[in-house]
Structure 1
Amino acid sequence: MKLKVIVPVMLISLTAGIFAFTKIAAKDDPPGRYEAIISLVGQILKEGHYQPKPIDDAFSKEVFVKYLKNLDGEKKFFLKSDIAALKPLETHVDDELNGASLDFFNRSTEIIKKRTNEVATLYTEILAKPFDFTKEERVVIDPESMDWPADDAARKEAWRKSLKYRALEKYSELVDQREKEKNGKTDAALEAEARAKVKKIYDRYFDRLKNRTKEDDRFSLYVNSITTTMDPHTDYMPPIEKRSFQESMAGKFFGIGAQLREDEGRIKIVSIVTGSPAWKDGKLKADDVILKVGEGSKEPVDISGYAVDEAVTVIRGTKGSEVKLTVKSVDGTIKTVSLLRDEIKLDDTFAKSAIINGPHKIGYIYLPEFYADFNDRQGAFSYEDVAAEVKKLKDEKVEGIILDLRFNGGGSLPDVIKMAGLFVPEGTMVQVRSRGGEIQQQKDRDKSVQYDGPLAIMVNEFSASASEIMAAAMQDYKRAVIIGSPSTFGKGTVQRLLELDNFVRGDLGGSLGAIKLTVQKFYRADGGSTQLKGVASDVVLPSPYYEVGEKRDKDALKWDVIPKANYEVWQDPVDVEPLKNKSAARLANNEAFKMINENIATLKKLDEQKTYPLDLTGYKADMKKNANASKRYDAVNDKVSPLNITSLKVDMAKMGSDTVKVARNKDWIKARYKDPYLSEAVNVMNDLIMQTNYPKLKNNYTDAKVPAQK
């Protein structure tokens, strides 16, 4: 039966963020859970997506290629005959979205399971025999340069070369270690040790593939191959991923407060968050190994071999619920610790500020994302936190503020609109166009300005979405100078999270998850879209990254323009030309940025390499080139004069004697101490402060009494 979903697009609300819909109860012969999800996703894409592609055979072929690539990206499992066997189903995806049986998904799942079991035997067979690291041969690592293996023999040869390369990496390390330690181990012993290390890694890898990869994981991969073919930011989220997304937006989750890491297939506790349930209980310690995780009275789950994110998933849960950890302590004792989950705040997510002293006193605000806790009015909101940091910096009488949005992937639209309003009076901060062509001007309506001094915004290629709105608004209003990469990421689309459970009646075997759907597009106040092109920096700094951004994805929506909004530029508009010229003059003689440019060129050449040597001599020659490039890049910071950057006294007082927070804050300051990009941003800010103050200095000179000329 085809589930019917009604999504009146005119009722999509930007502020409410919900869809109006009609629930349809399952009738005779109700679909299974997967069929229900696929049917819902198909109809939501057609009726709710901002700019839906026709769901037809051409769309199906795109999904077909993308899913097989997602399923076997390195082309190490499927054979060419498997792809040929699946080929008749390449035009079936659109039928599945319209209610047909999931033939492509089911058949591909059968084949990949079979091939995984075959390769699980194959890798142990290959690693049972010694490798000859004197034989000159090469391996292709880039899957785009490879075809699917023609038969079993070709697949085995591809795995042999791949495993040999991994073993060669370990062998080279062991040879270097022998030279340092002079331990006298033979080449044969080192080769055997290298193979054993690689086998241990692949044992864990195949354990995950065979025993921990569930049908739901592959199905999620399949649905996302469909949704991201519509556009890169329309995602399907199974229930656990949906929870993680909401936690990251809110900057908090419900857990026990233990920071974890993976160590040789075991989950170890790194540290305990102060004030958390684990901290209050006192039984868990750093370096304890978590063996099992139980939920209340349920049978505990053995988490050996789990990745950190998998372990985190089972440890977190709802507030007040019981979690039981079976733990092996450093002294070898095994104990069970019972804890009640509680709210844990992710401090690293929140806005943070510092003072940079020099010719001028400069305030620095770091904002990793535009977070907002929509489920708790007392929760964390980035706008409120940045406003608080601005106030603290004003109290410190800073002469300028740098807002660092590097690596900020975006977040809450209401927060960025209000945040922009901290620096300019009321006005349009961004325009939003919906599927039907309606344009809404999103305005800050607060006429007051919290900070009217010199302002700079740092960005890079990873600054996206809300970060681009903030930078674009400040640029359009001529309120700030934008400093950083040639352009930002280029994500100019709006997504809404839709709970699929709200679209059906009855139980279909658990939660159906959610879809994060692209429903609108962002435009600047000047009418240009932030989509694809991003925001161009006023002062451009050499970037250590390349081929980053929305433009890399062929499924990305295109750039376009709409009419300009009515807005008034800042009363004292920033003149970026002299700032740009002065920075360019400095960069021409800046050793750090010269090295960064040289390193980018080297990395591009290395990236173009498609094959790699499988003999020790050739491998070491390759590694020497890489090491030289790495050393040059590591030496960049040595060319940077250290900044006089310190935490605010009020913040240090809040940390008190919490040694974990103090240590993390010290690391945070240290990471900025010799940051070449922040260093140049400070130089630009010093220029901007002088530029802003020049009219005052000039007036003071004009008004002064000048001795009469004789």
Structure 2
Amino acid sequence: MRLKVIIPVVLISLSAGVLAFTKLGLSDDPPGRYEVIMNLVGQMLKEGHYQPKPIDDAFSKEAFNKYLRSLDVEKKFFLKSDIDRLAPLSTHIDDELKGAQLDCFRNINTIIKQRVAEASAIYPAILSQPFDFTKEESVVLDVDKVEFPADSVARYEAWRKMLKYRTLEKLTDLQETRDKSREDSVKNKTDQQLEAEARDKVKKVYDRYFERIKNRQDDNDRFSLYVNAITTTMDPHTDYFPPDEKRQFEEQMAGKFFGIGAGLKEEDGKIKVLSIITGSPSWKEGHLKVNDVIQKVAQGDKEAVDITGYPVEDAVKLIRGNKGTTVKLTVKSVDGTVKVISIVRDEIIQEETFAKSAVINGTHKIGYIYLPEFYSDFNDRNGARCAADVAKEVAKLKAEKVEGIILDLRFNGGGSLPEVVEMAGLFIPEGPVVQVRSRGGDAIVLRDRDKSVQYDGPLAIMVNEYSASASEILAAAMQDYKRAVIIGSQQTFGKGTVQRLFSLDDFYPVKDGQSLGALKLTQQKFYRANGGSTQLKGVSSDIVLPDPYYEVSERKDSDALAWDEIPKSNYEIWSNPVNTDNLKKNSEKRMANSAAFKLLNENLATLKKLEKQESYSLNLATYKAEQKVNTAALKRYDAVNDKVKELNITSMKVDLDKIGSDTTKIARNKDWLKARTKDIYLDEAVNVMNDLIAQTLPKMQRKQQ
């Protein structure tokens, strides 16, 4: 049956993003939870998406194929006969979104559970017998180049070759360790012993893999994958979040969560405590220690869940929760004792999420600000906001009398739109920052209205292919105003769309406390002040550096929205515009004469060549010969940093005073600085900034005369 959700109009509020639905009422024959979610998602995609595709049979087929790929990435579970049997249901998804029974999902779900169970018996049988690595055979690992196995015999053969390759990898590693070892117990091992050891290591990997599927990939998980196959067919950034992932998303944006304050790691299928945050609930309780193994997790007085074989992210979901609630951990200590530790959850601040700065000393004194994301706590008016934090970092750097500032947005995937508009205002007097257009509406100009400028000195922005969304808005605005020089990848990611998060519980009464989750829906598209979209094309850097991070951008996704443009907004360029021509010439000359960049370019060419390799030999001698070439190339890549001069980068006294004597924070800060002392990209950004300072100072002096 079709749920009646009345959507008279899609209302957009730039500060909150409100989608106007009426709340649903239960009928005499209420649908199941999955049907409710599908109905809501279907109607929200149709009525609320910025540029909805027709939800028809063609749409269904694309979502169907995407779902099968997400369930069986390596094509080692489904048989060709399964795909043929399911094919008639490939056009059913659009009907399910409109209220039909979930026949497509439930049939696929039944088959995948059966095939996973069968595969769980295949790998132990194969790994119980030695492999013959003298045979001349090969395996294709590129999933786009292989088909689903024709039958069970072909599936067994696909598993055999794949497991043989994984064992070959382990075997060569063990042989290399043996050949370098001085210990008799290691160097006296035979190839046969090492081959058996390699198979055992591979078996343990797959034991944990199938244990993880058994423990965690239940019907709800597969349903979430199903809905996301549908939403991402509409566009790559419209996502369905089940309840725990919704909470995780909000925590990431806020830079805080409610938990116990323990860092975790996965080791041999076990969840171990990696670190304890000073002042956190774990630290205050006192019994949880580094290297303890967390075996079970219980919510208050409820039954404990065994988390053996869980990935860290799934264990974290169970351990985190609401503030003031109790989580009970069954823990095995290093001395072998097992105990139950009760910890009351409290707020944990993720400091690594927030803006951080340092000073780079050299030809000129340069300020450096690292911003990992455009965070904003939407649930707390007094919570962390990146624009305010960057303003504080700028003020501290000005107090240090830096001559220029580098803002590092590499790997910054974006975040809050209001924050990026406010942040742009720190560097320009006033004017449009970005234009935002809603479905069927005119563009709205979001502008900085504050005529004051917090920082008017030389400015550089570092980006790479992972810099997306809000990062691209800021970089584009500074480029349009000729306010800053953009340094990095030839193009940034290319995400020019705006999403809003909607709780499905707001549109349908939740029964028994079972939340329906949330939909992150693409509702707007943003455009530069000059009228061009950053969608698909991203932002082109003024100073292009060779970037190893390729094949990740928006243009690689066939479901991405297209590039377009609208009329430019009225704005005045910066009073002391950056002339990038000379900066570019100087940078290109430096890189051409740089041993480090020459080596980097050679290595990138080699790595891209290796990426194109489709088949891999399963013959030991041939494999070793291939790996010798590959290893030499990778070692050359590692040697790049050896040719980069060390930057003199230091924390400011005000920040060191804040850290105080906290040994954990001191160590983290040292690691953060160390990672930047030999950064080839930051090194060149400093060189560019030195040129920009030299170029800017005479202009400012003339202006003052």
The two structures have a TM-score, normalised by structure 2, of 0.98
Contact 1:360–1:686 under 8 Å retained in 2: yes
Return the offset for 1:300: 1.2
Conservation of the 8 A alpha-carbon contact between 2:429 and 2:451: yes
Higher mean C-alpha displacement, 381-390 vs 183-192: 183-192
The one of 312, 315, 318 aligned to 1:311: 315
Which residues of 2 match residues 356-395 of structure 1 at below 5 A? 356-395=360-399
Q: How far has the Cα of 1:594 moved from its partner?
A: 1.2
Partners of 1:9 and 1:435 within 8 A in 2: no
Q: Say whether residues 1:496 and 2:497 are aligned partners.
A: no
Distance 2:513 2:113 in 1: 23
Q: What residue number does 2:32 align with?
A: 32
Q: Which amino acid aligns with 2:167?
A: A
- The count of corresponding residues between Structure 1 and Structure 2 is 701
Match of 2:536 in 1: 532
1:179 — aligned with what?
A: 179
The match for 1:416 is 420
Pairwise mapping of residues 446-525 of structure 1 onto structure 2 (< 5 A)?
A: 446-505=450-509, 507=511, 510-525=514-529
Q: Which residue does 1:398 correspond to in 2?
A: 402
Amino acid of the structure 1 residue aligned with 2:200 = A
Task: State the Cα distance separating 1:655 from its structure 2 match.
Answer: 0.8
C-alpha distance 697-377 of structure 1, shift in aligned 2 (>3 A): closer
CA contact (8 A) 2:10 2:20 kept: no
CA deviations on 1:345-383 (whole Å, 9 max, x unpaired) are: 111100000000111110000000000001112211000
* Pairs within 5 Å for 1:292-331: 292-331=296-335
The separation in 2 between residues aligned to 1:575 and 1:681, in whole angstroms, is: 16
The counterpart of 2:214, out of the listed 187, 210, 218, is 210
Given that residues 510 and 516 in structure 2 are in contact (C-alpha distance below 8 angstroms), is that contact kept between their aligned partners in structure 1?
Answer: no
How far, CA to CA, are the matches of 1:631 and 1:6 in structure 2? 61
- Structure 1 position 623 matched with structure 2 position 627: yes
Give SS of 2:520's match.
strand
How many Å apart are 1:210 and its aligned residue? 2.5
Match 2:286 to one of 282, 285, 297: 282
What SS does the corresponding residue of 2:232 show, helix, strand or coil? helix
Q: 1:29-428 alignment to 2 at 5 Å?
A: 29-181=29-181, 183-428=187-432
Following superposition, the deviation at residue 7 of structure 1 comes to 2.9
CA RMSD of aligned residues (A): 1.2
Structure 1 runs of 4+ with >4 Å offset = 696-700
Question: Tell me, what secondary structure is at the counterpart of 2:640?
Answer: helix
Instruction: State the shift of 1:472 in Å.
Output: 0.4
Alignment partner of 1:262: what SS? strand
Q: Which amino acid is the alignment partner of residue 516 of structure 2?
A: L
Q: In the alignment, which residue of structure 2 is the partner of 1:706?
A: none
2 CA distance for matches of 1:157 and 1:42?
41
Farther-moved stretch of structure 1 (513-522 vs 544-553):
544-553
Deviation at 1:299, TM superposition (A): 1.1
| d(CA) in 1 for partners of 2:324, 2:615 | 54
Task: Look up the equivalent residue of 1:354 and give its one-letter code.
Answer: A
1:444 aligns with 2:466: no
The alpha carbon displacement at 1:508 in A equals 7.5
Distance 1:393 1:506 in 2: 50
Give 1:697 deviation, angstroms: 5.4
SS at 2:275's partner residue?
A: strand
Aligned to 1:16: 16
Structure 2 Cα separation of the partners of residues 9 and 582 of structure 1:
54
SS in 1 for 2:139: strand
What secondary structure is seen at the aligned counterpart in 1 of 2:526?
strand
Tell me how far 1:588 sits from its aligned partner: 0.9
Distance 1:696 1:389, change over 3 A: closer
The C-alpha deviation readout for 1:156-199, integer Å capped at 9, x for no partner, is 00000111111111111111122122531122211111111111
CA distance in 1, matches of 2:456, 2:536: 31
Q: 2:618 aligns with which of 604, 607, 614?
A: 614
**For residues 175 and 552 of structure 1, what CA distance do their matches in structure 2 show?**
39
> Whole-Å Cα distance in 2 between the matches of residues 508 and 294 of structure 1?
20
Q: Residues 215 and 310 of structure 2 are in contact (CA less than 8 Å); yes or no, is this contact kept in structure 1?
A: no
Is the 8 Å Cα contact of residues 236 and 515 (structure 1) preserved in structure 2? yes
The question of whether the paired residues in 2 share the 8 Å contact of 1:33 and 1:508 is answered with no
State how far apart, in whole Å, the 2-side matches of 1:696 and 1:505 are: 63
Give the secondary structure class of the aligned counterpart of 2:336. Answer: coil
> Aligned to 2:240, what secondary structure does the other structure show?
strand
Aligned letter for 1:282? G
CA contact (8 A) 2:357 2:367 kept: yes
| 1:171 aligned counterpart, secondary structure | helix
TM-aligned CA distance change 1:390 to 1:397, over 3 Å:
same
SS at match of 2:369: strand
TM-superposed CA distance for 1:506, in Å, is 5.2
Asked whether the equivalents of residues 32 and 508 of structure 1 are also in contact (C-alpha less than 8 Å), the reply is no
Alignment correspondent of 1:707:
none
Stretches of structure 2 that go unaligned for 5 or more consecutive residues are none
Structure 2 distance, partners of 1:597, 1:511, is 51
**Whole-angstrom CA distance in 1 between matches of 2:313 and 2:292:** 18
Aligned twin of 1:675: 679
Shift of 1:302: 1.1
Q: Secondary structure of the equivalent of 2:639?
A: helix
Identify the range of structure 1 (153-162 vs 584-593) with the bigger mean alpha-carbon deviation: 584-593
Amino acid at match of 1:440: I
Q: Secondary structure at the match of 2:343?
A: strand
Structure 1 CA distance for aligned equivalents of residues 16 and 549 of structure 2: 37
What CA distance in whole angstroms lies between the structure 2 residues aligned with 1:189 and 1:584?
Answer: 54
The residue aligned with 1:708 is: none
